[in-house]
Amino acid sequence: MANEPESAHAGSSRTAENLIHVRSLRAEVFPSEIFDEHAWNMMLQLFVAQAKAQEVSENELIRATGTPPGAGQRWLAHLVADGQIEPYTDGGAIALTASALDRMEGFLRDASAIHQSDDSA
């Protein structure tokens, strides 16, 4: 019975280790200034929208990520200045830059492989 708690936590421990690994991978791929969850959520939403060939406006993106409007506008300005999203006009579609899209694809592929290793262990 002494081994029961250890084995019960083994899967969670692997997942926790993998999440730490994924966070460190994210830090290697993207600049640390965008790790506010609002900015990260915006980038994930844009990636999904672009993968589905859907356009997203500023208001739609801010609403989809649950970001307060003022903070959302500031993060979008920062992401444009940082080269993560393309410059856009008010009411226009927002999109990740080609570079950010490529890095996001690589990050998600690597993160997926890490999470899939949970099943094989």
Coil, helix or strand at residue 54: coil
Across 81-90, b (16+ Cβ under 10 Å) vs e yields eeebbbeeee
Coil, helix or strand at residue 52: coil
49-100 per-position pLDDT tens digit: 998 889 999 999 999 988 899 999 999 999 999 999 999 998 899 999 999 9
Any idea what DSSP says for residue 84?
S
Mean pLDDT, rounded, of the chain: 81
**8 A C-beta contact, residue 85 and residue 97:** yes
Residue 18 has pLDDT above 90, yes or no: no
| Rounded mean pLDDT, 1-30 | 62
pLDDT score recorded for residue 3: 45
pLDDT score recorded for residue 118: 62
The C-alpha angle 9, 11, 12, rounded to 5 degrees, equals 65
* Residue 73 or 14, more confident: 73
Residue 113 has pLDDT above 50, yes or no: yes
- Kindly indicate the confidence band of residue 35, based on its pLDDT and cuts at 50, 70 and 90: low
Q: Which pTM was predicted?
A: 0.73
pLDDT score recorded for residue 80: 97
